Amino acid sequence: MTKDLKFEPTMVRENKTARELYEAVKANPARARFGFGEKLAIVNIDFQQAYTRPDLFPKSAYVTHPDQIAFTNQISRLARGAGMPVVWTRVAYKEDGGDAGVWGTRTDTPDSLQNIKYDSPRHQFDPRVEIDEHVDLVFTKRMPSAFFESQLQSYLVWHKVDTVVITGGSTSGCVRATGVESLSRGYRTIVPEECVADKHESYHYANLTDLQLKYADVVEVAEVIAWLEARQLGA
């Protein structure tokens, strides 16, 4: 009977690093692209000091590409110049951390997520990021996805956006969560590789692989720059 069927595991096992697996997927031209649509939004996730300043917060901050912030500023400027929205998020919680919910129960140290308090140095944006507060949408989120209980969806609808470009960190956390939800909401989703970061190489590249295979186009930032520059030229 069918209920008695039993199969040996079919999961592939290879002696390759997460980075090697990602590079193999990246080199595979057979995977179809979502591509750019007509109008994009740049969604910059959690460029706050808790995650970008290892000199101040070595236990929670991380750097993957040394020019991550410079590239993010560049594509954000280009998007503004083309009349396309730019969004910045960060995380923080009330004094008792209760609004972190179950996500805030795994650890309780000075570096823990739920202990990022409003207007604290950990909540502050990295001073290197270029935010135009008169134009950009800026908000504090509480959960991994930038869409969760935020104004992001209605903002993208208002601006008639069909493509979401995601930058920030971490690749395995808030970037991935936002990418999955972006695709789930019907947006073409793009992740510029140089603009995302994580604490560990394995987490970073494993999640870039998963995003590339399922949820997003993981591309070199030069491709996003070229698309935006063409739009500014009216191409």
Rounded Cα distance, 69 and 87, in Å: 14
> 18-26 and 201-210 helices cross at what angle (nearest 10)?
30
| Closest by Cα among 197, 145, 180, 187 to 163 | 187
User: What phi and psi values does residue 87 have, to the nearest 5 degrees?
Assistant: -125, 140
* 8 Å CB contact between 181 and 147: yes
H-only helix segments in the chain: 18-26, 49-52, 68-81, 152-158, 176-184, 201-210, 221-232
Active site residues: 174
Helix, strand or coil, per DSSP, at residue 117? strand
The amino acid occupying position 141 is: K
User: What phi and psi values does residue 77 have, to the nearest 5 degrees?
Assistant: -60, -45
The token duo for 155 is 């903002």
Rounded Cα distance, 90 and 142, in Å: 8
Hey, which residues does 41 pair with through a beta bridge?
A: 164
